[in-house]
Structure 1
Amino acid sequence: TVDEVIRVAEAEGFDAGIHKGGVLEVARTPAQLARLKEFHAQELAFGEKDRELYDARRTAERIRVADAVGSTWTPHGARVHPVKLVKGLAAAVEALGVTIHELTPVTEIRPKHAVTPYGTVRAPYVLRCTEGFTANLKGQHRTWLPMNSSMIATEPLTDEQWESVGWDGRETLGDMAHAYMYAQRTADGRIALGGRGVPYRFGSRTDNDGRTQPETIEALREILVGFFPSLAGVRVEHAWSGVLGVPRDWCATVTLDRTSGLGWAGGYVGSGVATANLAARTLRDLVQIDSGQGVRTELTELPWVGHKVRKWEPEPLRWLGVHGLYAAYRAADRREFSTPSAESSRAARVADRISGRH
């Protein structure tokens, strides 16, 4: 799927800042290293042939993350500028004659009907691909939880600052903390870094302007400086927030109900830039089969097709649960940094079981 996104961008002739440097996951404590090795073994067991496991020295040769004790790298990942990607795709489909109706919110979905404030759209198939905003639709309030995610971007770094950091391969970067971070070296020479911030708002509320709270910006800056102490004086020039779609079992789903013509895809839990592409191609194949214009493909046989997930708990249990879980994860991370043990914190193990992530 990563290669398919790259192929389409090249074929349509738009620049989305793509660089295929792979994905590097780092560990900074003994407990994180134990989880990293387990994760690495699981990926190999699933059949990945190209993944590599690095010790502290090999990790430092790729990127100089403070206190890194190991990492795992896969070539199957790429940096991308998501807004440039979606604008390029929008221009491509409009050139094919498709009309994109912006500022037209769908408030309710029914079989063969999508209801908007300006009228009702009728179609043989109605596909819900609204991810973190699904809770705003009538009857979908507890389907997927809108998890907040926030990002910062630094000012462009100097050559000397990049020399202190390394990162010549421009891999996307993640870690093995429970309240994990993710980052990339951008095409214009910045570091863009994200994390959870305030994870969830009561009643599945979402905002529209992407404003980021000052304490969240400061928390992300602390992560940046913790990873790269030499960048302590670097300015944060941009900050923004958005929501992820989180199913109760943290597993994405692609489904087409042949009786009603309603389909949906989502629940990507933060991995949607690539996964949405795979889900869309899968929905396409399912619609073509149902309409008699296609046959079953390797995509329609994937295990997420038709996967059923129970709904989230009602409020206030939902709010208490999510905030309790992330408080436990952050406490576990603090304990793992202060207590050098290879065993994950008990609080995190309990939180994993409650959240469904185990």
Structure 2
Amino acid sequence: MATGGRPLRIWAVSDGRAGIEAQALGLAEAVARLRPAHIATRRIGWRAGLGRLPWRLIPPAARAGDPIEPPWPDIWIGAGRATLPLSTRMLEWAEGKTFVVQTQDPKAPLERFDLVVPPEHDGLIGPNVFPILGAPNRISPEKLAIERARFAERIDPLPRPRVAVIVGGRSKAHDLPRQAALAIAGRIAAGVEAAGGSILLSFTRRTPQAAREAMTAALAHLPGIIWDETGENPYFAFLAAADAILVTEDSTNLATDAAATGVPLFTISIPGHSAKLSRFQEALRARGIARPYVGDLTGEAYEPLAETDRAARELLRRYDGSP
């Protein structure tokens, strides 16, 4: 597709939730690292609870949120089920002049997209499907360096090894009740104390409040930083500064982000089970990227995971019409 030499216009479309929006924005930013582009975010909602219906039954006129109207972008990158009533119609609306990309498994006819970028563990196949290990993210070496520098004054004095701990929690398949959180905190504290290091702890929106409070109290005696969600978010700086990273097993995004650093990565088991996430964890172990946390924080470095960049190269190859 030709643009007349101007920068690409890319829309990163989602419902605005951090983990979902990061997939669309991450892939858009990776494309922009390869070719000049202007990126605009579009956040989508649906009136009267219609977003809970199957995408076929949601009338586009019931949309809330940012404007979705011409002029259409050169590349549309949608993430999450909230975008499907629009993503599935964009090829028709734009008369084929917009290259339509969807992350995750859309559970919609694949011919409604130019490219689908799902995680490998979804098992989705098709001529326009490009599976990756994990999910698209916003991490690059440059971003890690910038974020690391922004928080250097607070992080640099901390004793090493610096252990980043990223905690998820409640999802369809997992939960993190208070007692489980306390037990996990105890194992983390023992490992950090044995290593003589410090902790860089960040929770997510899915961490139950009781678990958050319990872990904060149990780990507050350690040197380090426990982000209380006030001030600027140090999440990327924590990853960039870490000598080891611990993530709970309930999230593809968290493990994918951590794997982009190349530092030893350990997964923490929490109550619940997901067959898909188990396949993802197995793939990380098979590639020497991650292993279960058993108290030892030593591990081997590995080539940082750069699946978002790989997907961006494939996106542009297909956008350009290469065979």
Name the TM tier (shorter chain): under 0.3
The structure whose RCO (Cα within 8 Å, separation 6+) is larger is: 1
